[in-house]
Structure 1
Amino acid sequence: MVLSAADRFGDAEAVVDGSLRLTFAQLVDRIRCAAGAFAGIGLDKGDRVAIWAPNCAEWIIAAFGLLTAGGVLVPVNTRFQAAEAADIITRSGVKAVLVEKAFSVGISPFRPGCPRLT
């Protein structure tokens, strides 16, 4: 979907997030980079990945990167408390969790010893 939009509207603005402005072409470059990162951590097609973050450019890039890599998106509501997020994340059987730094305090209850990427 985004790839075909980039072919048609490459230099048109696709994402505006505060001062960040990305064209469709720039967005696709970042999505491909994210897809490569998912492959780099060993994500296989069909693996589930949770994203617990507010709507922002990074969320868009991560979500489309995940889908491009063949993963399955498990969005976690930003209004959830840590226990609610933990329940969704645990029951969905995710292989990885992408979390906004502000929410990362709530990560430890469901992934003890989970390595942190910054």
Structure 2
Amino acid sequence: QDILCIQSKGRGAYQRTRVNKYGFPRGFLMRKKTIYGFQTGDLVKATVPKGKKAGIHIGRVAVRASGSFNIQNATPVQGIAHTYCRLLQRADGYSYFNIKHRSIASSPWYQPGVSAMSI
């Protein structure tokens, strides 16, 4: 039995320029949050037909202005063209993943279904 885990990721920042510790501008962020209809945090399925990164990749996307995206999953993939990506779920500020359910015993000799009163 798998357990659905939800982790908060946020929706991004309004601030378009990062600053250093003295308050001076250091680099800049993209002026738009969406690129080719995708936004960082969207869940996508990328089907790459050929090349070094050929295969099917499913994960959270990080967009770049160039249209070459990064897909973040168990094995991250960088530089996937937006044309290979298909949207599965829009970014809602959370990350979803499954973990395997395992029973947690208070002691190594604990057996489920046996009460302490019967001992």
Please tell me the TM-score bracket, short chain as reference. Answer: under 0.3
The TM-score, its normalising length taken from structure 2, stands at 0.23
Q: Which has the larger radius of gyration?
A: 2
The TM-score, its normalising length taken from structure 1, stands at 0.23
Between Structure 1 and Structure 2, which shows a larger proportion of helix residues?
1
